[in-house]
Amino acid sequence: MKRINQILAALIASIALTGSLAAQEKALDLDALLKQLEQGKFQQNQQNIEREREFAQKRSEQEKMLRDAGNARDSELRTSAQLETQYEENEFKIADLKQAVDTRLGSLKELFGALQQTAGDTKNKFFGSLISAQIPGRAEFLDDLAQSMGKSSKLASIAEIERVWFELQREMTESGKVTRFTTDVVEASGAKVSKEVVRVGSFALIADGKYLDYEGATNSVSELVRQPAERFTSSAAALQNSNGELVQFGMDPTGGSILRLLVNAPNLQERIHQGELVGYIIIAVGAVGILVAIWRFIVLTHIGGKVRRQLKSDTFKDDNPLGRVMQVKDKYPEADTEALELHLTEAILGEVPKLGRFLTLVKMIAVVAPLGGLLGTVTGMIVTFQQITLFGTGDPKIMAGGISSALITTVLGLVVAIPTTLLFALLNTQSKNIVYILQEQAAGVIAERAERLEKA
């Protein structure tokens, strides 16, 4: 119907166009106009016939295309049905095959499970093993094997199983060897230098007489920023310079854990600095006391030698206490026993302060040093408790560090008090021995004078 309306509209337009053209040509009569209309109608009919014929041809083509599309759809539906049937058959086949694989594997499942667990556990050890610094790539292989067996349930090949066994055996074998190899070493200054490294099993790495650290995550070897004590570094240098002979060497059986703790421990100088102001005062006072004690020890030893030489001589000299005391006898030749005793006592009392000079200072330092240490400990504990008040007790390192610093002053006080006490006892004994000699000789002089006066 729609097509017919379109044809009628075209016909009316053609008639109107034809009428317009005829009007322009100025038809002379109605017969000519009628003839023109007939001719236009004939032409219009011919055009309509052509359009209908063309429409009919295209309609047949559309119907053919529709039939072709229907045939294609039917073919695809048949293919889909075939694929669905094949998919279901494949599902049953896969289930049967899985069951057959599980049945045939049997105890091999436990083997592959143990292999996966071993690979996972061993790769963590290899990441931190010092042997990986010389033989890299072992941990990566085990990591890839464990992940592939875990995610995709892939079965390990015989070559992979043999390599896992080989890597475990190589780790044990290399742990008992001392070998040399060349690798890049990051020095304490940050520079990377190729050096000859000595590996002691899986326990230590050394180069240029210094201990090294291995970082498995980055596969890098670096010098320890803080080296252990001299006795350890000297043994490391001796080992590196050895040509196969036995040498003593400081080895960390934990593979570096104890060594890191050892190098992080404060040395003597750092311990002293932890005492802060009180510690410095104790050290200064102790140094003064020890220097004075050494000086007095030298003086008293020299005086004691002169006194012993004076005992063997009959000539009294005034360069020693005994000679000066004995000269009193010659100054008062006619004095009675009591007077001479008083003069000798006076001379001896005059020598005693000289012999005991600065001994009281040494004794005072021996007594005051531990008190100063106790003062530093108390002040340090006060600071520690203030830190606990501010930060709580969640971190034991705060308390341990504060208490350790506080006790340093007590240690310094005892370190000063013990030698100064011993030195004071030694000096006091030396001084008293000389005084005893003076008193003994003075008593002999008095006895000699008394006997002479009795005979007279």
CA distances from 18 to 8, 36, 214 (A): 15, 8, 105
Query: What single letter denotes the amino acid at residue 62?
Result: Q
In a structure prediction context, what are the per-residue pLDDT tens digits for the chain, which is 456 residues long?
A: 445 555 445 545 555 444 544 444 444 466 676 676 667 666 777 777 777 777 777 777 777 788 888 888 888 888 888 899 899 889 988 888 887 777 766 666 777 777 888 888 888 888 888 888 888 888 888 888 888 776 666 677 888 888 888 888 988 898 888 889 999 998 888 888 899 999 988 888 888 888 888 887 788 888 888 888 777 888 888 888 888 788 888 877 776 777 777 777 777 777 778 778 888 899 999 999 999 999 999 999 999 999 888 888 888 888 888 888 888 888 888 788 888 888 888 888 888 888 888 999 999 999 999 998 888 888 888 877 777 777 776 666 666 666 777 888 889 999 999 999 999 999 999 999 999 998 888 888 888 888 887 776
Tokens 């030694």 appear where? Answer: 426
Estimate to the nearest angstrom the gap between the alpha carbon of 175 and the chain centroid. 23
Q: Which residues, including other chains, have CB under 8 Å from residue 22's CB and lie 6 or more apart? A: 33, 36
Q: Which residues, including other chains, have CB under 8 Å from residue 205's CB and lie 6 or more apart? A: 130, 133, 197, 198, 199, 211, 212, 213, 214, 221
Query: What single letter denotes the amino acid at residue 239?
Result: L
* Rounded-to-integer distance, Cα 87 and Cα 79, Å: 12
pLDDT at 258: 78
Tokens 């048949």 appear where? Answer: 78
Tokens 């108390």 appear where? Answer: 378
The C-alpha angle 177, 179, 183, rounded to 5 degrees, equals: 140
pLDDT at 27: 45
CA distances from 38 to 13, 18, 35, 46, 356 (A): 15, 11, 5, 12, 164
- Report the DSSP beta bridge partners of residue 185: 193, 221
Q: For residue 293, give the nearest of 430, 412, 409 by alpha carbon.
A: 430
Half-sphere exposure of 437 (CA within 13 A, CB side): 24
For CA atoms 13, 14, 18, 19, give the dihedral sign: negative
pLDDT at 25: 47
- Residue 207: phi and psi, rounded to 5, are -155, 135
pLDDT at 385: 78
Token pair listed for 44: 């219009």
pLDDT at 21: 44
* Rounded-to-integer distance, Cα 301 and Cα 325, Å: 19
| pTM tops 0.75, yes or no | no
Token pair listed for 172: 């044990």
Token pair listed for 202: 């899986």
Q: For residue 220, give the nearest of 236, 238, 205, 230 by alpha carbon.
A: 205
* Rounded-to-integer distance, Cα 377 and Cα 390, Å: 20
How many other C-beta atoms are found inside a 10 Å radius of the C-beta of residue 310? 22
* Rounded-to-integer distance, Cα 224 and Cα 412, Å: 30
DSSP 359-414: HHHHHHHHHHHHHHHHHHHHHHHHHHHHHHHHHTTS-HHHHHHHHHHHHHHHHHHH
